[in-house]
Amino acid sequence: MNTLTKDPLLTTGKVLTILVRIGLVIGMIGLGIAGTVVAIGATGLTEHIIVKTTGVGEVKWAAVLAIFTMLISLGLMYDFATRLAQIIDTVGKGDPFTLENAARLTRMGWLALIVQILAIPLTVVSSWLETRVDEGVFQLQSDLSFTGLVVAVLMFILARVFRKGAEMREDLEGTV
């Protein structure tokens, strides 16, 4: 029985995960193009670089590094949203407490944690770039989020809950 079409919350969750994944793909395409443009030097970035103690090349490659790091983060977020959509599907089918969902939740916890860890060098590089480029030319905001760390811990806890639920169901089926 598929309750996904009957439950507005599950339907909303499914639609949102689709929209988020579409947005992430668009973002990845845009960052890929931006990174390529900056890497090959087909941008006006060099005329806005404030040369202090670094050269134009260092600023250009720092920008490419920041864009590449953000691209990796968006890919990890896409994987997170995909796994969430898979869990929503199992809830809609009426069978969420499976070992597969526990594994998905564990992976989602690691993905959330890795995105937060990637925010550290991204913040450092973007802060360094802001001091070397004219204001408004290169803007990249990255913050280490306490909320992201809480999400990671929550995913790990939910994975244990789902794992335990699957084990309890197997035990119950074995006794009947």
* Longest CA span, the chain: 75
Does residue 3 form part of some domain? no
5-32 pLDDT, tens digit each: 688 999 999 999 999 999 999 999 999 9
Does residue 99 form part of some domain? yes
Predicted local confidence at residue 79, as pLDDT: 98
Predicted local confidence at residue 45, as pLDDT: 56
Does residue 167 form part of some domain? yes
98-152 pLDDT, tens digit each: 999 999 999 999 999 999 999 998 888 888 877 776 665 556 666 667 898 999 9
53-88 pLDDT, tens digit each: 556 677 778 888 888 999 999 999 999 999 999 999
Closest CA to 72 of 127, 155, 80, 13: 80
Does residue 2 form part of some domain? no
Does residue 1 form part of some domain? no
Domain that holds residue 61: 8-175
Question: Phi first, then psi: what are they for 43, rounded to 5°?
Answer: -125, 165
How many domains does the structure of the chain reveal? 1
Residue 37: band (very low, low, confident or very high) from pLDDT cuts 50, 70, 90: confident
